[in-house]
Amino acid sequence: MSGGDSLAFEISPNPAPVSDVERAALLADPGFGRLFTDHMVVIKYQKDKGWHEARVDPHGPISVSPAMAALHYAQEIFEGLKAYHCADGGVSLFRPDENARRFQRSAERMSMPRLPEELFLTSIEKLLDVDRAWVPTQDEASLYLRPFMFASEVFLGVRPAHECLYMVIASPVGPYFSGGVQPVTVWVSDNYTRAAPGGTGEAKCGGNYAASLAAQAEAIEAGCDQVVFLDAVERQWVDELGGMNVFYVYDDGSLVTPSLTGSILPGITRESVITLAREAGHEVIERPYSMREWRDDAASGRLREAFACGTAAVITPIGAVKSPAGQFTVADGGTGEVTGKLRAELLDIQHGRTEDRHGWVRRIA
Ligand SMILES: *Cc1c(COP(=O)(O)O)cnc(C)c1O
């Protein structure tokens, strides 16, 4: 039983919302992921009842049993998307139906119930109904939405939980990297991989992130911003960064991005970039891409640009690559022209500053 397509939401307004003056001050410099809006969505799932009890509650702590399954076996998935302030004063989402479908695929991989696509979309709209004043209006800022689901059953036996909680919280955010849009330096880890064939690399689950933190710490230690993860079998093919997909721009105008092998998270930004680049006349090739060709083609100058992409960081140039074996830069280490153009075009579509040729933008207010 799944149910839930037409659940009514019970709305409990926050009795003490942040004042207009205080919110304006907070939104002037939101940072990333440290501020939260006044409300949150909660929907319950039980195996014998399906989806039930949909609520919009004041944002706040939830009380759970120390025997709750997710705390022990990490049965948890999430999504990340943004609400954008539009040029005409409205608010929009970018391809939220794709997030809804990916959430279902992640749920299947983690043996969790599928949340109906309509309920996913409605839950986000309900939250934005009450918290739309939290959508920042300045350039490069947005309201980051975090839908997630976890095994809420109180049970220590190892099997798919019979009870889950789906929630959505929202956080106003500025640029992901504190330095603004500047090229990042990435670290190639010898010691750690992120996802193996048959594993959970394709699912957006917290466990993948937990597993990536040791490598990320190593990167910071080496003076880098992010980790490049290589495939777990041969340790030579580029998979992705811990939370972003990667692209390479060649001197003949073609783009290369690692093909989706099962250990790579299929990014919605990745897919959008492929579409936009092809429209702009670039050939885009999805194929395995080795660390050796990254190094050799950067050295020969054939590789002109490299960038990472994802909802949080949009498109971020990769200026330099470090590993225990040494270090190299991509071209002059700056922001390449193709990278800059794709980034600007994507942001223009998301913020309603240019025509939405693909029906990617969903207006909600
Ligand atoms: C979310 C995520 C991405 C980027 O996906 P988008 O849909 O573009 O935001 C890339 N890699 C990992 C591991 C992710 O979790």
CA 275 to chain centre: 18
- Among protein residues, the one with the nearest Cα to ligand 1's atom 14 is 243
Mean pLDDT to the nearest integer, 284-305: 98
155 pLDDT more than 50? yes
Ligand 1, atom nearest to 245 Cα:
10
Q: Is 216 in the pocket of ligand 1 (CB under 6 A)?
A: no
Confidence at 44, pLDDT banded by 50, 70, 90: very high
Ligand 1, atom nearest to 98 Cα:
7
Confidence at 190, pLDDT banded by 50, 70, 90: confident
Give me ligand 1 centre to Cα 265, in Å: 6
Ligand 1: residue of 101, 228, 244, 257 to mutate (most ligand atoms within 8 A of CB) is 244
The DSSP call for residue 334 is S
338 pLDDT more than 90? yes
Q: Are residues 49 and 1 in contact, defined by beta-carbon separation less than 8 angstroms?
A: yes
120 pLDDT more than 80? yes
Residues 6+ apart with CB under 8 A from 143: 37, 82, 83, 128, 131, 134, 135, 136, 170, 171, 172, 173
Mean pLDDT to the nearest integer, 81-103: 95
Q: Which of 5-9, 17-21, 82-86 has the lowest mean pLDDT?
A: 5-9
Ligand 1, atom nearest to 204 Cα:
15
Q: How far is CA 247 from CA 137, 193, 294, 308, in A?
A: 29, 19, 11, 6
**Domains in the chain, CATH or no CATH each:** 9-173 (3.30.470.10), 184-350 (3.20.10.10)
Amino acid letter, residue 72: H
CA 146 to chain centre: 9
Residues 6+ apart with CB under 8 A from 16: 58
Mean pLDDT computed over every residue of the chain = 95
1 pLDDT more than 50? no
Q: Is 310 in the pocket of ligand 1 (CB under 6 A)?
A: yes
Q: Is 240 in the pocket of ligand 1 (CB under 6 A)?
A: yes
Mean pLDDT to the nearest integer, 176-184: 73
Confidence at 317, pLDDT banded by 50, 70, 90: very high
Which H, E and C letters describe 260-324, residue by residue?
Answer: CCCCCCCCHHHHHHHHHHHHCCCCEEECCCEHHHHHHHHHHCCEEEEEEEECCCEEEEEEEEEEC
Ligand 1, atom nearest to 309 Cα:
8
- Among protein residues, the one with the nearest Cα to ligand 1's atom 2 is 243
Confidence at 5, pLDDT banded by 50, 70, 90: low
- pLDDT, residue 93, reads 97
Give me ligand 1 centre to Cα 246, in Å: 11
Task: Quick: pLDDT tens for 204-250.
Answer: 999 999 999 999 999 999 999 999 999 999 999 999 998 999 999 99
- Among protein residues, the one with the nearest Cα to ligand 1's atom 15 is 243
- pLDDT, residue 177, reads 60
